[in-house]
Amino acid sequence: MKRPLFNLKSYATALFAIGLMTACSSDDNSVTPEPEQEEEQGNEEEAADSRWITVAGAKMGENPGDGNGGTLIYSVTSEEAKDPTVQIDPFNNGFVAPSNRTARLQASEDGNTIFNISYAGDTGGNYTKYLVNGGNDFEPTGSEISIAPYVGTAPRWIKLFDGDKTGAAVYVSTEHQVDDNDTPKDVTDDNYLYTNSTIGVVTLDLVDSQINNFQEHVITLSEEESAAGYYISRIDMPVLNEAGDKLYIGARVSKVDPETLESDSDFEILGSKTIVLDYPSLLNPTIITSTVGHGNTNGYRSINAFLYDGSVYQANQGDPEGSHILKIGSDNQYDDSYVFNLDDALGVEGAYILAWRPAGNGKGVLAYRHDGSEEGISGRGQSFFALVDLNAKTATKIDDIPYEVDFELFQYQGFAVDGNEIYLTQAPVGKDGNIYIVDTETGEVTKGAQLINAEGSHFIGTW
């Protein structure tokens, strides 16, 4: 007799069957020309070339760098972001993004809209949308909706790259299956069979604030892997393929000791895995496995996979040979002929990709730490930025950005992309810093606006 040891979170399926959920004024820093200036061609071109850059800071809760005190955002124009005389102080002047802990923010491709789903607390799972008006003026627009009945109050979600139309959120719950032969006994005496992972995936209409679809599936690894105690323990970072008919979901693989049913922390790392679903139906789950990279593909707070030149490029973490950028081809399988290892490219050991973002030219910026990174005030390793090239499979540390031991990017979320330029934040925990702008084509780095920090707090990116 198969006996589950833990309860599944399955109420979302019942709710979905019943029916789909339906759904601060401040100084304006905009540089929009005055009416009498609008006939001046130069000013028209300047306004047309500008976009909003939203900076986010995570406030300290109880410990420096924990980000549990909430998220504050503040927007400036791209011209202001490039001006080192401009000061940005979200911790004193910013808009509080609704969230019990660090908010999970997304932005429209033009930077004019911010999307947020609150993380944890009484408002956990609430989706809200804001028009960016400059400074701390984020104007609520559209209807609010809760996705908590489907994926809980602490959802992991991402905006799909489909023209700002759709978001996708996911959850996973697990249960160990044992065979006790109908004889009551202690759990440690039971015969372990495998661990099931029940995944839930919901897609959200970002325009009309309504649920598009919700599906739940039971995922089990191969018979050999399952018998050894391996199972999918976390999922995150959905991304669409170029054809728009498959959704890839990153996965973390954990292991239980089949003899004791206790968590096993010292085990052989399996090849990196991704769950593939039909889209938009969210049906027919399959699992693909890389033979190049080993470790997890779910990422953490930032987008972990991007579509470029017909393929999806995905970072992995916890790889014993150092993080890789992996490639999933148009056939929806890992392309194991593509080998991009960060240890080799950067000349370090134990490279760990914290966040990354390519521009449209296949060149991008990557945040990482590595073995030997000294721990700072937050208890996490010092971090660095690198310029990467997906085509050439190269990575070069960006030396024009200052680093110190308290500069860590564990919770880093966003890179604002404007053409070939990528905007990033540089500031150690609890210390001031600057925006930096990287021209991914030339490698030129420009020091921009000043970032005013607060005690124990840190910046988590630009949008």
Report the distance separating Cα 319 and Cα 434, nearest Å. Answer: 31
The DSSP code for 247 is E
Q: Does pTM top 0.85 for this prediction? A: yes
Q: What is the pLDDT of residue 189?
A: 52
Averaged pLDDT for residues 51-71? 96
What are the structure tokens assigned to 440, written together? Answer: 């991914």
Query: What's the number of CA atoms in the CB half-sphere (13 Å) around residue 28?
Result: 7
CB 145 within 8 A of CB 127: yes
- pLDDT tens digits for range 68-90: 999 999 999 999 999 999 999 99
Report the chain's mean pLDDT, rounded to a whole number.
90
Report the distance separating Cα 249 and Cα 238, nearest Å. Answer: 4
Residue for token pair 């110190």:
404
Backbone dihedral region for residue 461 (phi beyond 0: left; psi -120 to 50: alpha; all else: beta)? left
Q: What is the pLDDT of residue 25?
A: 36
Q: What is the pLDDT of residue 38?
A: 41
**Beta strands 87-88 and 445-451, pairing class:** parallel
Catalogue all structural domains in the chain, each as residue range(s) with its CATH number. 2-34+46-462 (2.130.10.10)
Residue for token pair 């410990």:
63
- pLDDT tens digits for range 138-195: 999 999 999 999 999 988 999 999 999 999 999 999 999 998 765 444 444 569 999 9
Backbone dihedral region for residue 267 (phi beyond 0: left; psi -120 to 50: alpha; all else: beta)? beta
Q: What is the pLDDT of residue 121?
A: 85
What are the structure tokens assigned to 439, written together? Answer: 């021209």
Q: How many CB atoms lie within 10 A of CB 110?
A: 11
